[in-house]
Structure 1
Amino acid sequence: MDYAQTRETLSGHRARIEALRAEMRQIQADVIPQPVADYELSRPGGPVRLSELFGAKDDLFVIHNMGTGCPACTMWADGFNGVYDHLADRAAFVVSSPNTPDVQRAFAAGRGWRFPMVSHQGTSFAADMGYHRNGGWQPGLSVFQRQGDQILRVSDTELGPNDDFCSAWHMFAMLPQGAAGWFPKFNYA
């Protein structure tokens, strides 16, 4: 197929993807929220309740990060760092991992991360949200809303190659060979 035909075919596929996304947004808008407990997590200043992470916002993004041992989770967090101000203008945003607050703080400082972090170590938070399976942590995103004294989970999704939350994979998909076996690293020196 020549370039013009390929471009036209791909444009048609992208239009179908956008129509499917519109359908998904409508399904999401109609969800019956899941009540969740007001978990006690930890941060450098001490314990913090899930309800406190909302700050002045009614919506909260929680990134379920596997911690300092995962270069892929680190790449996602690097990307979130770049859009943090935009996200935090609309909703509260926090990254949660099993690492201790001191380990998180040192790792975040080394990467230049600006977003808040909490540790779910010693809690059932990540497991209850579905992000601890088969004996290991899983990456994902949960979205919560605060309605009065109640915390509701309104959506969640797993994070991984080709998801909607890391542009690198979509950029690689534009290459004829795709990612070609590439996997994120902590450093590229």
Structure 2
Amino acid sequence: MSDGISYAAGKDRLAALRSRISDLRREIREVQGAIEPEQVADHEFIGADGPVRLSNLFAGRRDLFVVHNMGASCPNCTLWADGYNGVYRHLASRASFVVASPDPTDIQRRLAEARGWRFPMVSDPGSAFAAAMGYVDAAGRPRPGVSAFQLRDGAIFRVADVGSEPLDDFCIVWHLFEMLPGGADGWRAEPSEEAQASRAARG
């Protein structure tokens, strides 16, 4: 280590820092709990069987997570989705969980089949839903993140949202790499098979 501290002393310092992170997480939960939910429109997507509305994605549940995914062309979004897939059964025991991307449903289906994804997916044509939720950049390109919704007396409310990026709370890969000297050390997620095939087809 650059400051030359022993392993034991460094471990104690890290424990103190992680305790501060726990305190910050507690404060985040308190602030989140005090935020007034925002009512949102019943947006329309394209599902595997045709048009489907945001209200349908609740599938009879009160709570819903919608992942703002950039699609097969984004290696990191595919990496994050692989992680969600691993815990999907647990997520689905508490709330509905759906991944939305701008990809057409046929591309979503091929990608899901290739990677063994179990969660439902919907197409967000032109990233219209992502834009309404604030998940497009200034050039109109989709950005990654997660929004949480609740149904209340037939109305849809967004109760929370957060963007996705390396070292966020939603992908364990980066946190494990941080334990190694040099961290990720230039590592990057590999493009999905679907993205590679699409690029090859374009020549």
Please, what TM-score do these two structures have when normalized by structure 1? Answer: 0.97
In structure 1, give the amino acid aligned to 2:114.
Answer: G
Q: 2:100 aligns with which of 96, 100, 103?
A: 96
- Structure 1 unpaired stretches of 5+: none
Q: 2:176 aligns with which of 171, 175, 181?
A: 171
Percentage identity across aligned positions? 52
Assess, with a 3 A threshold, how the Cα gap between structure 1 residues 67 and 110 changes in structure 2: closer, same or farther. Answer: same
Q: Provide the rounded CA distance (Å) in 2 between the counterparts of 1:187 and 1:152.
A: 33
Q: State the structure with more CA Rg.
A: 2
Tell me the secondary structure at the aligned position of residue 175 of structure 2: helix
- Structure 2 unpaired stretches of 5+: 194-203
The reply on whether 1:31 has 2:69 as its aligned counterpart is no
Greater Cα offset, 5-14 or 175-184: 175-184
Q: Provide the rounded CA distance (Å) in 2 between the counterparts of 1:90 and 1:187.
A: 29
In the alignment, which residue of structure 2 is the partner of 1:44? 48
Greater Cα offset, 129-138 or 153-162: 129-138
Alignment of 1:1-189 (within 5 A): 1-122=5-126, 124-135=128-139, 136-186=141-191
Q: Provide the rounded CA distance (Å) in 2 between the counterparts of 1:81 and 1:93.
A: 10
- Give yes or no for contact 2:73–2:191 (8 Å, CA) kept in 1: no
Q: What is the CA distance between 1:187 and its match in structure 2?
A: 6.3
Let me know the Cα RMSD of the aligned residues: 1.2
Q: Provide the rounded CA distance (Å) in 2 between the counterparts of 1:122 and 1:19.
A: 40
Runs of 4+ aligned structure 1 residues displaced above 4 Å come to: none
Q: Provide the rounded CA distance (Å) in 1 between the counterparts of 2:128 and 2:192.
A: 32
- Give yes or no for contact 1:131–1:140 (8 Å, CA) kept in 2: yes
Q: What is the CA distance between 1:125 and its match in structure 2?
A: 0.7
Q: Provide the rounded CA distance (Å) in 2 between the counterparts of 1:122 and 1:15.
A: 43
Q: Provide the rounded CA distance (Å) in 2 between the counterparts of 1:186 and 1:179.
A: 17
